Amino acid sequence: MASYEVLMIAAFFIAVLLPAPFLGRYLYRAMEGEKTWLSPLLRPLEEGCYRLAGINRAEQDWKSYSLALLAFSLASVLLLVVILMAQGMLPLNPQKLPGLDWSLALNTAVSFVSNTNWQAYSGEASLSYFSQMLGLGVQNFVSPAVGLAVLVALCRGISRRNSATLGNFWVDMTRATLYGLLPLALVLALLLVWQGVPQSLLSYVSAQGVAGHDQVIPLGPAASQIAIKQLGTNGGGFFGVNSAHPLENPTAWSNLLEMAAILLVPAALLFSFGHYVKDMRQSRALLACMLLLFCLSLAGTLYAEFQVNPALAGLPIEQVGSLEGKESRFGIAASALWSVATTAASSGSVNAMHDSFSALGGMLPLLNMLFGEVIFGGVGAGLYGMLLLVLLTVFLAGLMIGRSPEYLGKKLEAREVRLLVLTLMVMPIGVLVFSALSASLAGPAASVSNPGAHGFSQILYNYASATANNGSAFAGFSANTTYHNLLLAAAMIIGRLGYILPVLAIAGSLAAKQRMPIGANSFPSHGPLFVCLLSLIILLVAGLTFLPALALGPLAEHLAQWQGQ
What is the rounded CA–CA span in Å between residue 17 and residue 439?
41
Q: Which residues pair with 199 in a beta bridge?
A: 221
What is the rounded CA–CA span in Å between residue 113 and residue 141?
10
522 to 281, 308, 391, 510: CA distances (angstroms): 15, 51, 14, 17
Q: Is the pLDDT of residue 318 over 60?
A: no
b/e string for 513-544 if b means 16 or more Cβ within 10 A? bebeeeeeebbebbeeebbebbbebbeebbee
Q: Exposed, middle or buried: residue 142 (CB in 10 Å: 0-12, 13-18, 19+)?
A: buried
Residues 533 and 397: beta-carbon distance below 8 Å: yes
- Per residue in 455-482, pLDDT tens? 999 999 999 999 999 999 887 788 889 9
What is the rounded CA–CA span in Å between residue 283 and residue 525?
10
What is the rounded CA–CA span in Å between residue 246 and residue 238?
12
If you ran DSSP here, which 8-state letter would residue 61 be given? -
- Per residue in 394-448, pLDDT tens? 998 888 877 778 898 888 999 999 999 999 999 999 999 999 999 998 888 888 8
Name the residue range of residue 381's domain.
3-312+319-562
Among 325-329, 368-372, 490-494, the minimum mean pLDDT is found in 325-329
What is the rounded CA–CA span in Å between residue 47 and residue 181?
18
Residues 157 and 408: beta-carbon distance below 8 Å: no
What is the CB neighbour count within 10 angstroms for residue 102? Answer: 13
Q: Which residues pair with 410 in a beta bridge?
A: 407
pLDDT of 338 reads 96
Instruction: State the chain's mean pLDDT as an integer.
Output: 92
The SS3 of residue 476 is coil
Among 109-118, 251-260, 273-282, 318-327, the minimum mean pLDDT is found in 318-327
What is the rounded CA–CA span in Å between residue 338 and residue 329?
14
Would residue 409 be called left, alpha or beta, if left means φ above 0 and alpha means ψ between -120 and 50 degrees? Answer: left
What is the rounded CA–CA span in Å between residue 173 and residue 160?
20
- SS3 labels along 150-208: HHHHHHHHHHCCCCCCCECHHHHHHHHHHHHHHHHHHHHHHHHHHCCCCECCCCCEEEE
What is the rounded CA–CA span in Å between residue 156 and residue 141?
23
The SS3 of residue 343 is helix
* Count of domains observed in the chain: 1
556 to 87, 266, 309, 553, 565: CA distances (angstroms): 45, 34, 16, 6, 11
What is the rounded CA–CA span in Å between residue 258 and residue 341?
11
What is the rounded CA–CA span in Å between residue 420 and residue 506?
8
Would residue 404 be called left, alpha or beta, if left means φ above 0 and alpha means ψ between -120 and 50 degrees? Answer: beta
Helix axes 252-277, 381-401, angle to 10 degrees: 50
Mean pLDDT of 324-337: 90
293 Cα distance to chain centroid: 16
Q: Is the pLDDT of residue 285 over 80?
A: yes
**Amino acid, res. 546:** F
Q: What angle do CA 80, 459, 372 make, to 5 degrees?
A: 70
| Confidence class for position 384, pLDDT limits 50, 70, 90 | very high
Residues 419 and 506: beta-carbon distance below 8 Å: yes
Who wins on pLDDT, 474 or 98?
Answer: 98
Residues 223 and 198: beta-carbon distance below 8 Å: yes
Helix axes 359-370, 528-552, angle to 10 degrees: 120
Mean pLDDT of 183-197: 96
pLDDT of 316 reads 57
Q: Is the pLDDT of residue 314 over 80?
A: no
What are the start-end ranges of the H helices in 2-101? Answer: 3-17, 20-31, 39-53, 62-85
Residues 205 and 88: beta-carbon distance below 8 Å: no
What is the rounded CA–CA span in Å between residue 463 and residue 471?
9
What is the rounded CA–CA span in Å between residue 542 and residue 544?
6
The SS3 of residue 560 is helix
What is the rounded CA–CA span in Å between residue 91 and residue 132?
12
pTM of the predicted structure, to 2 decimals: 0.94
First to last CA, the chain: 28
| Confidence class for position 519, pLDDT limits 50, 70, 90 | low
